[in-house]
């Protein structure tokens, strides 16, 4: 295979994967079975990868995949002797695939999100299923993200899909009365999808997951326009995504916020994010939740002309508010860094040293290292960076730490 062929076939595989995720949502609706739909879509994807390179990509790849997947589903159902032809037509699988309007595809995806986040599934089951079916992550990738083994992950997925099928968990957008109770899980899932796109497994960024999460975020805001947490969620994702291209350099290495080229940030996304944040904060007032507050912090960063001009006092007070609703060590760590910018490196270091239980976390050591460098305590800084490296950080972070150590003058 030539290089050009390889590039073409990987682009093709990407189309099949992206469209396949949407076709899957539709097939789950028509067949009522996650397992059957997955098998059918997978077989359709294999067909596509066999035919498209020879015959060219069809005019409407999604319609092509939907038609083939429906045919495959019918084959499977007919093979299963318990199903009659009547049942097959009841599933709306016979006849030509209707040309689905965008709104139906959109609703299918939303239904799938609500099914994945059904309250009768445990939180770990919800997360696993969402990553696998919504985000299209492999079982191995899911296991790595959720810090467990592949066999545990495979068992959990199997159990979850079986429960959806036999317990009759419905595949639909809940009624208005049920929506508020289901919101938290759905919003968390959309954000998980987004962070999975940013953190990736080994690659630094997977933009297609971020795009999908933002699409979901828009759908949710449309569905519940009065929910400030959803506006906050969408704003947070837009403001974070606006900085995507500057987060890694040409060599794929991490670039810290202070060093990012702000002229490259996406001004349209930032403007939209800022508008949403404003609305979300006005709606929620003093009851702002974690998404509104995190979005407000992201807004402070996105609207600052330079790193030095950032309104750190505002950011520290937003973190104080965030700590009330999300009292985690990560939030405390971020707050300590902001204190360092507001009150000086020594104050920041003192705040960091007040935190406990973070000595296995590479970012705590790395942040201490940065502040120690500013204080001119280079030997302590070097040892902090070395301790960060010893925590087995993600690859991109590790490379950044190595470069950082190299810039410290030795005695």
149 binds another protein (CB under 8 A): no
Query: In this chain, which of 167, 256, 258, 330 binds another protein, going by CB under 8 A?
Result: 167
Instruction: Calculate helix-pair angle for 207-223, 228-241, nearest 10 degrees.
Output: 160
Query: In this chain, which of 95, 96, 101, 168 binds another protein, going by CB under 8 A?
Result: 168
Shortest Cβ 252–another protein spacing (Å): 40
381 binds another protein (CB under 8 A): no
Q: Are 245 and 300 in contact (CB under 8 A)?
A: no
Which pair of structure tokens corresponds to residue 142?
């899911």
159 binds another protein (CB under 8 A): yes
In b/e form, how buried is each residue of 311-340, taking b as 16+ CB within 10 angstroms? ebebbbebbebbeeeeeeeebbbbbbbbbb
174 binds another protein (CB under 8 A): yes
What Å distances lie between residue 156 and 115, 123, 132, 289, 326, CA to CA? 16, 12, 11, 31, 28
Query: In this chain, which of 118, 244, 332, 400 binds another protein, going by CB under 8 A?
Result: 118
Residue 270's nearest CA partner among 292, 239, 309 is: 239
Query: In this chain, which of 84, 138, 162, 264 binds another protein, going by CB under 8 A?
Result: 162
Shortest Cβ 132–another protein spacing (Å): 17
Taking CB under 8 A as the binding criterion, the range among 88-96, 163-171, 267-275, 383-391 that sits at the site for another protein is 163-171
331 binds another protein (CB under 8 A): no
Q: Which is nearer to another protein, 118 or 244 (CB)?
A: 118
User: Nearest 5°: phi and psi at 99?
Assistant: -75, 100
Alpha helices in 224-328 (DSSP H): 228-241, 244-247, 267-284, 290-303, 312-325
Tell me, rounded to whole angstroms, the distance of Cα 75 from its chain centroid: 35
Shortest Cβ 103–another protein spacing (Å): 23
Shortest Cβ 124–another protein spacing (Å): 9
What Å distances lie between residue 176 and 75, 179, 181, 287, CA to CA? 37, 5, 10, 22
121 binds another protein (CB under 8 A): yes
Q: Which residue in the block uniquely carries the two structure tokens 């949407």? A: 22
170 binds another protein (CB under 8 A): yes
In b/e form, how buried is each residue of 379-395, taking b as 16+ CB within 10 angstroms? ebbbbbbebbbebebee
Q: Which is nearer to another protein, 177 or 406 (CB)?
A: 177
Query: In this chain, which of 89, 94, 122, 149 binds another protein, going by CB under 8 A?
Result: 122
Shortest Cβ 162–another protein spacing (Å): 7
Shortest Cβ 169–another protein spacing (Å): 5
Q: How many residues does the chain have?
A: 411
- Residues lying near another protein in the complex (CB under 8 A) are found at 118-122, 125, 159, 162-163, 166-170, 174, 178, 181
């Amino acid at each position: 295979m030539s290089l050009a062929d390889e590039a073409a076939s990987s682009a093709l595989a990407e189309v099949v994967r992206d469209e396949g995720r949407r076709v899957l949502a539709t097939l789950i609706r028509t067949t009522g079975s996650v397992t059957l739909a997955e098998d059918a879509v997978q077989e359709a994807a294999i067909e596509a990868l066999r035919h498209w390179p020879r015959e060219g990509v069809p005019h409407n790849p999604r319609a092509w995949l939907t038609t083939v997947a429906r045919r495959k589903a019918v084959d499977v159902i007919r093979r299963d002797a318990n199903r009659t032809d009547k049942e097959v037509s009841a599933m709306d699988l016979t006849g030509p695939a209707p040309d689905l309007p965008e709104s139906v595809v959109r609703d299918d995806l939303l239904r799938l999100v609500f099914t994945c986040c059904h309250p009768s599934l445990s939180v770990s089951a919800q997360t696993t299923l969402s990553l696998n079916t919504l985000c299209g992550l492999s079982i191995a990738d899911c296991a790595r993200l959720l810090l467990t083994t592949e066999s545990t992950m495979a068992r959990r997925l199997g159990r979850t899909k079986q429960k959806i099928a036999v317990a009759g968990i419905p595949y639909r957008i809940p009624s208005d009365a049920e929506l508020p109770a289901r919101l938290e899980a759905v919003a968390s899932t959309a954000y998980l999808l987004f962070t999975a796109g940013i953190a990736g497994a080994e690659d630094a960024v997977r933009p297609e997951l971020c795009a999908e999460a933002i699409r979901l975020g828009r759908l949710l805001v449309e569905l519940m326009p009065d929910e400030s947490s959803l506006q906050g969620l969408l704003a947070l994702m837009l403001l974070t995504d606006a900085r995507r291209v500057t987060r890694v350099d040409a060599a794929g290495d991490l670039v810290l916020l202070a060093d990012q080229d702000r002229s490259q940030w996406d001004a349209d996304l930032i403007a939209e994010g800022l508008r949403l944040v404003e609305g979300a904060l006005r709606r929620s007032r003093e009851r702002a939740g974690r998404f509104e507050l995190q979005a407000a912090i992201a807004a402070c960063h996105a609207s600052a002309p330079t790193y030095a001009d950032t309104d750190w006092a505002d950011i520290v007070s937003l973190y104080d508010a965030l700590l009330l609703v999300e009292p985690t060590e990560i939030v405390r760590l971020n707050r300590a860094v902001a204190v360092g910018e507001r009150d000086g490196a020594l104050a920041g270091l003192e705040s960091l040293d007040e935190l406990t239980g973070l000595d296995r976390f590479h970012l705590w050591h790395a942040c201490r290292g940065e502040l120690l460098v500013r204080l001119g305590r280079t030997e302590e800084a070097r040892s902090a960076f070395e301790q960060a490296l010893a925590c087995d950080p993600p690859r991109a972070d590790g490379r950044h730490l190595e470069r950082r150590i190299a810039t410290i003058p030795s005695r």
